Amino acid sequence: MFYREAGQFKTSYKADQALFPILQDRVGLAVILITAFAVIPALANDFFLTSIMIPFLVFSLAAIGLNILTGFCGQLSLGTGAFMGVGAYAAYKLTSIFPDANVIVMVLLSGVFSAAIGAVFGLPSLRIKGLYLAVTTLAAQFFLEWCFIRIPWLYNYNASGAIEVPRREVFGIIATGAEATPLARYFIVLGITVLIAFLMANVLRGRIGRSWMMIRDMDIAAELMGIRPLQTKLMAFAVSSYICGVAGAMMVFFWLNAAEPSSYSIRLSFQVLFMVILGGLGSLGGAFMGAAFIWILPVILKFVPGLLGFDLAAETVEHATFMIVGALIIFFLIVEPHGFARLWQIAKQKLRVWPFPY
Amino acid sequence: MNAFVTEKTLPPADAKEAAEREVLLRVDNVSLTFGGVKAITDISFDIQKGEIRAIIGPNGAGKTSMLNVINGFYHPQEGTITWQGQVRRKMKPYEAASQGIARTFQNVALFKGMTTLDNIMSGRSLRMHKNFFWQLLWRGPAEREEIEHRRKVEDIIDFLEIQAIRKTPVGRLPYGLQKRVELGRALAMEPDLLLLDEPMAGMNLEEKEDMSRFIIDVNQEFGTTIALIEHDMGVVMDLSDRVVVLDYGKKIADGPPEEVQASQAVIDAYLGVSH
């Protein structure tokens, strides 16, 4: 009733292949964007921004990156954490070498380095598929993590072995470092995430996005239709790693302020992979939903016992959160193995015919 | 339905004869082995421009292997393939595609996660060239290119009468329609040579009639040369201009349908013979 496209006629192919051909979707997106850019900054406190929104956006971007590779091109990867780390260390080195340059530009540039490294580790994908490919990306994860620990040049020979983000200003506003306000960080992270998500939506609906999906769905047929498998897969690896690299750089520059090699461990790879699987393979919207579920739900759950008046020890709450989130993951995967994106599609389909579903 | 499909016009006879003399693809003494298994032994035949060429034979005769050799998926150990005057021993599948060879598969090989429209659009991949950065922007050149190719694809959708399933993911379609979408995807490549591997396998009579009509229309309206493998002899004899018969990887007959039908070797191969 509220979600019905009856009467919305498209008279050109241009209108038919728009990103959001249905009016209700466009309104919905506008509401989300207004909320993100105006309502949240106006109402939210620092805790909400730094502990919920900024990590959520960083993880969403990382999930988009992995989704390009795994969800759209069908190449399973467990090296996401390491590729994010490459972005972080590259951005750190870039800001150390060019202290006066715009830090946002440096963060966006750092992705180029992880794209190059991602493409190198994507080379085996020509011959290896599925779980076996996952194992070779696991090699990338361990090798790169080793590099972060053993190559002191990467962290400027700090005694601590960690990278600490220096203070940098963008147009007179402190953007990074401990003094940067959560609001400034939030706007930068939001801007980069929305921009990359939008650009990727464009790529995915065109020739290149289709060539990735062709490789994913039937690689032999794709090859016989003129798709070069190696080039296409390497491009997916490069684009995916670029996005993961930018997410990794944002993670340390606008959220954590400092990072150790262990911040980019296999744990992070799995976390992002779970977001992608739970959100829905092959869906940009699903990446956001998956990130929200895996990151925001535990944070909220921690406050539930307090609000209900239970006085529980911090560890108990922590453990209970783990159990509840784990149970919910299993529950949702049984209900819909294709993730939240598919659930949302089914919901939309039901809404279209509501209240007369026959 | 389009007017040009219903009002079928045969090309003038002399034009057809002239076209028949030109050889599009010639296979010379090709042999293909997998380890000790001889899939194809010393086969030679040609495909002339504008004809419908059938390849038939009992199961395991090497028909699909022959198609795989033609579009570069298998590399024969011996023999040469002459494509539009150029002699080659082997090429990569995407090279065959870019030189104008398209095919459909015996088991439907559609892109299951994509819609009918996207599947057929994927056939245009080789003709779309806007690079990654234009694709990022979308507005402007990339969008114009997409719309230009969308027009061509919509013509094919009209031709195959699958407008209603344009936005349906192909995994949800019934088998007969999937076969039709697969034909559409191959047509979108605007190939010079279209290889059809059992286009009518598992279809009922009505679907077979539809598919036969599409094949004849493609051949006559677009002038596409077609090589097809099919087990339904009625279809083969009615559709094809010339038939080549394989058995155990060897060629046992080659010629017009009537001639092949009368050949004792073919009858023996299909019915079996006591030695």
**Cross-strand bridge partners of residue B43:** B30
B108: in domain: no
Report yes or no on B214 lying in a domain: yes
CB contact under 8 A, A218 and B111: yes
B167 shares contact with chain A (CB less than 8 Å):
no
Answer for the pair A134, A80: CB distance below 8 angstroms, yes or no: no
Amino acid at A103: V
Question: Which of A240, A188, A204, A199 lies closest to A57, judged by CA?
Answer: A188
Phi and psi angles of residue B248, each rounded to the nearest 5 degrees, phi first: 50, 45
Choosing among B74, B94, B133, B179, which should be mutated to test the A contact, i.e. which has the most A CBs within 10 A?
B94
Tell which of B174, B190, B206 closes a domain: B190
- Do B80 and B145 belong to one domain? no
Asked if A314 reaches chain B (Cβ–Cβ under 8 Å), the answer is no
B181 found inside a domain: yes
Strands A258-259, A163-164: pairing kind: antiparallel
pLDDT in tens, A310-330: 777 888 888 888 898 889 888
Nearest chain A residue (CA) to B108? A221
Task: Kindly state whether residues B131 and B258 are assigned to the same domain.
Answer: no
- Residue B150, SS3 per DSSP: helix
Q: Is residue B106 part of a domain?
A: no
ipTM: 0.87
* Cβ-Cβ contacts under 8 Å, B125 against chain A: 207, 210-211, 214, 225-227
pLDDT of residue A172: 83
Q: Which residue has the higher pLDDT, A5 or B13?
A: A5
Q: Does B150 touch chain A (CB under 8 A)?
A: yes
B181 and chain A in contact, CB less than 8 A: no
Best to test chain A binding among B103, B107, B111 (most A CBs inside 10 Å): B111
Same domain for B7 and B89, yes or no, is yes
Q: Percent of chain B having pLDDT more than 90?
A: 66
Distances (CA, A) of B101 to A200, B143, B186, B190, B194: 32, 27, 9, 9, 6
d(CA A215, CA A203): 15
* Chain A environment of B113 (Cβ under 8 Å): 213, 216-217, 282
Domains with residue ranges and CATH for chain A: 22-353 (1.10.3470)
Q: Name the residue with tokens 């993590």.
A: A145
Q: Is residue B182 part of a domain?
A: yes
pLDDT tens-digit map of A212-261: 999 999 999 999 999 999 999 999 999 999 999 999 999 999 999 999 99
Give the pLDDT confidence score for residue B2 in this predicted structure: 44
Domain shared by B37 and B138, yes or no: no
Domain shared by B8 and B92, yes or no: yes
Domain boundary among B173, B190, B207: B190
Q: Which chain B residue has its CA at the smallest distance from A209's CA? A: B135
Residue B20 confidence (pLDDT): 52
Q: Are B95 and B195 part of one and the same domain?
A: yes
Question: Does the beta carbon of B157 lie under 8 angstroms from any beta carbon of chain A?
Answer: no
A197 to chain B: closest CA residue: B136
Inter-chain contact B73–A224, Cβ cutoff 8 Å? yes
Q: For residues B36 and B96, state if they share a domain.
A: yes
Highest mean predicted confidence (pLDDT) among A169-173, A244-248, A341-345: A244-248
Tell me the nearest-neighbour CA distance from A107 into chain B, angstroms.
19
Question: Is pLDDT larger for residue A13 or for residue A243?
Answer: A243
What pLDDT, on a 0 to 100 scale, did the predictor assign at position A108?
96
Who among A17, A220, A282 is closest to B146 (CB)? A17
Q: B64, B72 in Cβ contact below 8 A?
A: no
d(CA B1, CA B158): 7
Question: Per this entry, what is the length of chain A?
Answer: 358
Whether B27 and B50 map to the same domain: the answer is yes
Q: What is the pLDDT of residue B6?
A: 41
Q: Are residues B8 and B24 in the same domain?
A: yes
Q: Are B217 and B8 in contact (CB under 8 A)?
A: yes
Q: Looking at chain A, which residue has its C-alpha nearest residue B93?
A: A224
Whether the model clears a pTM of 0.95, i.e. scores above it, the answer is: no
For chain A, give the secondary structure using H, E and C: CCCCCCCCCCCCHHHHCCCCCCHHHHHHHHHHHHHHHHHHHHHCCHHHHHHHHHHHHHHHHHHHHHHHHHHHCCCCCCCHHHHHHHHHHHHHHHHHHCCCCCHHHHHHHHHHHHHHHHHHHHHHHHCCCHHHHHHHHHHHHHHHHHHHHHCHHHHCCCCCCCEECCCEEECCEEEECCCCCHHHHHHHHHHHHHHHHHHHHHHHHCHHHHHHHHHHHCHHHHHHCCCCHHHHHHHHHHHHHHHHHHHHHHHHHHHHCEECHHHHCHHHHHHHHHHHHHHCCCCHHHHHHHHHHHHHHHHHHHHHHHHHCCCCCHHHHHHHHHHHHHHHHHHHHHHCCCHHHHHHHHHHHHHHHCCCCC
Size of interface A-B (CB pairs under 8 A): 101
Whether residue B93 is found in the same domain as residue B196: yes
Q: Does A14 touch chain B (CB under 8 A)?
A: yes
- Provide the terminal-to-terminal Cα distance of chain B, rounded to the nearest Å: 54
Residue B122 lies inside a defined structural domain of this protein? yes
Q: Classify residue B110: in a domain, yes or no.
A: no
In a domain? residue B107? no
CB A257 within 8 A of CB B106: no
Which residue type does A247 have?
Answer: A
Residue A81 contacts residue A264 (beta carbons within 8 Å): yes
The residue among B190, B221, B240 that closes a domain is: B190
**Could you tell me which chain B residue has the CA closest to the CA of A206?**
B135
All residues of chain B having their beta carbon less than 8 Å from the beta carbon of residue A221 are 105, 109-111
Residues B96 and B134 placed together within one structural domain of the fold = no
Token look-up 């939001």 returns A190
Per-residue pLDDT tens over the stretch B70-106: 988 899 999 999 998 888 877 788 889 999 999 999 8
CATH number assigned to the domain comprising residue B247: 3.40.50.300
What Rg value do the Cα atoms of chain B yield, rounded?
A: 19
Instruction: Please state whether B96 falls in left (phi above 0), alpha (psi between -120 and 50) or beta.
Output: alpha
Query: Are B184 and B81 part of one and the same domain?
Result: no
What are the pLDDT digits (tens) for B144-183?
A: 999 999 999 999 999 999 999 999 999 999 999 999 999 9
Give B242's strand partners: B53
Range of the domain at B8: 3-100+191-271
Q: Is any Cβ of chain B less than 8 angstroms from the Cβ of A211?
A: yes
Please determine, for residue A23, whether its predicted confidence score (pLDDT) is greater than 50. yes
Chain A residue with CA closest to B186: the answer is A225
Domain total of chain B: 2
Q: What mean pLDDT is predicted for residues A140-154?
A: 93
**Do B185 and B119 meet the contact criterion of CB atoms below 8 Å apart?**
yes
**Any CB–CB contact under 8 A between A40 and chain B?**
no
pLDDT at position B14 is 52
Residue B15 has pLDDT above 60, yes or no: no
